[in-house]
Structure 1
């Protein structure tokens, strides 16, 4: 999910989109925009599987099923995470977009601010079964509180700590770490002989920002004030970011090569035994596709600062997930709404979340899950008890881009042998805050 452009270009795109007078889909160009016919839809799906082709294999039969039921053909494009936000911003500002699209749920408020997306007010929600069909925590990550959601939940996710059972046994460690100090101690025992304690995706700005938020919550940092103003370089934020970067810089339990990882290479390193731990969202399906058997790994909550934490100290993951949105000037709004209804139906949710190994945000589908895997049972519990939504403010996507890129720079320093101190972390976060677009 490495950004294909710099953080500055994403900020500019957001500013352009926010001032656009004609936003959304509805292009009559069948090669790239939304559909002009009531019998077709263009759908941009996010890359959820190990490759674009895997997503096409997962979604293809379901889209054919929708066509059989409605007569509406869906033209699918799976967009890599490295391109997705920039593609959406460009579509919002140009008016040349798809009818339906997936978005990272943390972007909901930022994209809502562009005015490009269909508001899911009570009338529109009624067309897909009502807001009550969705899990409340998932629905909280669909836009600014008090405004109609800009999207609806499609897949729900949370971070977990994946651990290699054989490597832990070999190192004489009984089970997964529960606290940060235990994570570091275990990581050092697991590092050596060409293997590392933990695999990180340090070149992926979104991944960096997600962890900064979660560890920031544990330490009292929110990265935005209650008034929605950026607060990237508070002492608590500096501590949270440094703690994460120190896994490579000071603790030396993550490989310097991880500084360049941006395309799920950390998952591969864990699956192939090069690292004994991994912080990831619903990695099980990807691990099995890479040859790792279910009984070879365990999943536990991401470690906390201390044992038995309380308050925000209990947060160890963002409320992660994927939302589904509609460009409001689609030429086929009726068909788009029918498609959203189909994809969020109980039957379909059980199928697609089952294939991806994610948690259904539709309550009926989640409750009907039979014999969930230990992985999903853990992630579901974490999502319910230890998650918080990223700030639902218009500048959230800029937070991810700027803070995540600042952390990428810090990891690059660590990999190159440069000292990472409180001062250097604060300097990078201050620069990130100064690069925020003016309100």
Structure 2
């Protein structure tokens, strides 16, 4: 106990001085921070331009200069894990909220205990649904919410009208039926990102919830090859393989190409998180598309849950190895302030993670209204277990392979999916 007490005192001293340096290394300039931002907009350059005035305001208020790098999603997790392992990297980072528990397990991020929350204005400021994906249950969060999101169904109004469709589908059966009417050789019913493991895993989670399944048991052990999970994956892959409402080329999509297909009228529907700003960047006006809740099964199986989205979003975290912890905490406080939450989320079309900002009229538009309805009623956080990031990587890769098979005309069978899931489950168990 004495050792723990001494460690706690040392950590407290480091927080006060902002000088938690690696052994033998000089203390960094207290007026400088490094920040890895996630790619939220239509391009890395768009994000740099969006963040530039924000970081300038922070420097004017605090005198602290922030060196920012916008990191593509395809690289972010690996770079975060490398920084966590090496003890070298930025001071402040954006993380996908689904990775919170996995990164928390590395002990590389500071914990937002009551004292840390007090330093950024208090825990009660944050939207409870957003905090649900900030770390393992029963532990102090490893990060705090920055941008809140949920999945929604986007649809092209004119393409629907031309096909004689009066309203968006509310069930998967209706989506397939509508998708077939909208697929005609020049356009497709639905666009997806078949080569994007994280995107695949998000849909695997949602379908599994609707089918009454779970990817982990209560102890955090993987339960991948269950009937429900197999059926969940097959239902999603079959949108291409059996229903043929998805262009086979989508099996190679991994970098937001599906958004371009939708914005350029090559696909009539899209399942995505806060896509409006990306559409606008490609010349599509908000009047051209509608937004609806993600469908549910017409006849839910026993145990099926009323879930149609994971709790999506971006969290902001501070590395313990930062040599300017005081400045890092000031930056988190600034980025989660009411004013900056309104400014940033307004640009990105996402939802503020703090209550006061969410009440701003800027978030009363149809898109944000639907996203908020889903987030606060029918969204569920992905399992907050230490191996969640492995789940996304491995199960997402299984689905990527199945999409590739579907694109090449190979049959997609429950037996083949089960075998692949069983193999990655065994890999997870080591």
TM-score range, shorter chain: over 0.9
Report how far residue 385 of structure 1 moved: 0.8
Establish whether residue 356 from structure 1 lines up as the match of residue 348 from structure 2: yes
Q: Structure 2 CA distance, aligned partners of 1:307 and 1:252?
A: 22
- What are the within-5 Å matches in structure 2 for residues 244-323 of structure 1? 244-306=236-298, 313-323=305-315
The one of 191, 195, 208 aligned to 1:216? 208
Q: TM-score normalised to the size of structure 1?
A: 0.91
Q: Would the aligned equivalents of 1:305 and 1:313 in 2 still touch at CA under 8 Å? A: no
Establish whether residue 150 from structure 1 lines up as the match of residue 151 from structure 2: no
1:25-64 CA-to-partner distances (Å, cap 9, x unmatched) read: 9788xxxx99811000000000001110000011010000
Establish whether residue 125 from structure 1 lines up as the match of residue 96 from structure 2: no
Corresponding residue SS for 2:89? coil
Q: Structure 2 CA distance, aligned partners of 1:84 and 1:303?
A: 30
Report how far residue 293 of structure 1 moved: 1.1
Question: Is the alpha carbon distance of 1:154 and 1:310 closer, same or farther for their aligned partners in structure 2, counting shifts above 3 Å?
Answer: farther
Establish whether residue 422 from structure 1 lines up as the match of residue 414 from structure 2: yes
The one of 198, 206, 209 aligned to 2:190? 198
- Root-mean-square deviation (CA, aligned residues, Å) is 1.8
Establish whether residue 84 from structure 1 lines up as the match of residue 103 from structure 2: no
Q: Would the aligned equivalents of 2:210 and 2:300 in 1 still touch at CA under 8 Å? A: no
Establish whether residue 188 from structure 1 lines up as the match of residue 183 from structure 2: no
Q: Would the aligned equivalents of 2:20 and 2:325 in 1 still touch at CA under 8 Å? A: no
Q: Structure 1 CA distance, aligned partners of 2:167 and 2:283?
A: 23
Q: Would the aligned equivalents of 2:38 and 2:71 in 1 still touch at CA under 8 Å? A: yes
**1:339 aligned partner:** 331
Q: Would the aligned equivalents of 1:112 and 1:150 in 2 still touch at CA under 8 Å? A: yes
| Unmatched segments (≥5 aa) in structure 2 | 1-18
**2:230 aligned partner:** 238
**2:385 aligned partner:** 393
Report how far residue 313 of structure 1 moved: 2.7
**1:65 aligned partner:** 57
1:161-218 CA-to-partner distances (Å, cap 9, x unmatched) read: 0000111111111110000100000000000132100000010000000000011100
Corresponding residue SS for 1:270? helix
Report how far residue 435 of structure 1 moved: 1.8
Report how far residue 67 of structure 1 moved: 0.2
Q: Would the aligned equivalents of 2:112 and 2:140 in 1 still touch at CA under 8 Å? A: yes
Q: Structure 2 CA distance, aligned partners of 1:308 and 1:407?
A: 23
Name segments (4+ residues, structure 1) moved above 6 Å: 25-28, 307-311
Report how far residue 395 of structure 1 moved: 0.5
Question: Is the alpha carbon distance of 1:234 and 1:371 closer, same or farther for their aligned partners in structure 2, counting shifts above 3 Å?
Answer: closer
Question: Is the alpha carbon distance of 1:26 and 1:298 closer, same or farther for their aligned partners in structure 2, counting shifts above 3 Å?
Answer: farther
Q: Structure 1 CA distance, aligned partners of 2:27 and 2:179?
A: 51
Q: Structure 2 CA distance, aligned partners of 1:391 and 1:26?
A: 32
Q: Structure 2 CA distance, aligned partners of 1:38 and 1:370?
A: 35
Q: Would the aligned equivalents of 2:187 and 2:265 in 1 still touch at CA under 8 Å? A: yes
Establish whether residue 409 from structure 1 lines up as the match of residue 362 from structure 2: no
Q: Structure 2 CA distance, aligned partners of 1:311 and 1:66?
A: 49
Report how far residue 368 of structure 1 moved: 2.3
Which piece of structure 1 moves more, 220-229 or 308-317?
308-317
Which piece of structure 1 moves more, 307-316 or 386-395?
307-316
**1:113 aligned partner:** 105
**1:7 aligned partner:** none
Establish whether residue 433 from structure 1 lines up as the match of residue 422 from structure 2: no
Q: Structure 2 CA distance, aligned partners of 1:49 and 1:385?
A: 26
**1:17 aligned partner:** none
Q: Structure 1 CA distance, aligned partners of 2:97 and 2:295?
A: 23
**1:97 aligned partner:** 89
Question: Is the alpha carbon distance of 1:292 and 1:27 closer, same or farther for their aligned partners in structure 2, counting shifts above 3 Å?
Answer: farther
Establish whether residue 365 from structure 1 lines up as the match of residue 332 from structure 2: no
In terms of Rg, which structure is larger? Answer: 2
Report how far residue 310 of structure 1 moved: 10
Q: Structure 2 CA distance, aligned partners of 1:381 and 1:63?
A: 31
Report how far residue 312 of structure 1 moved: 5.1
Q: Would the aligned equivalents of 2:189 and 2:269 in 1 still touch at CA under 8 Å? A: yes
Q: Structure 2 CA distance, aligned partners of 1:293 and 1:431?
A: 45
Q: TM-score normalised to the size of structure 2?
A: 0.93
The one of 156, 163, 172 aligned to 1:164? 156
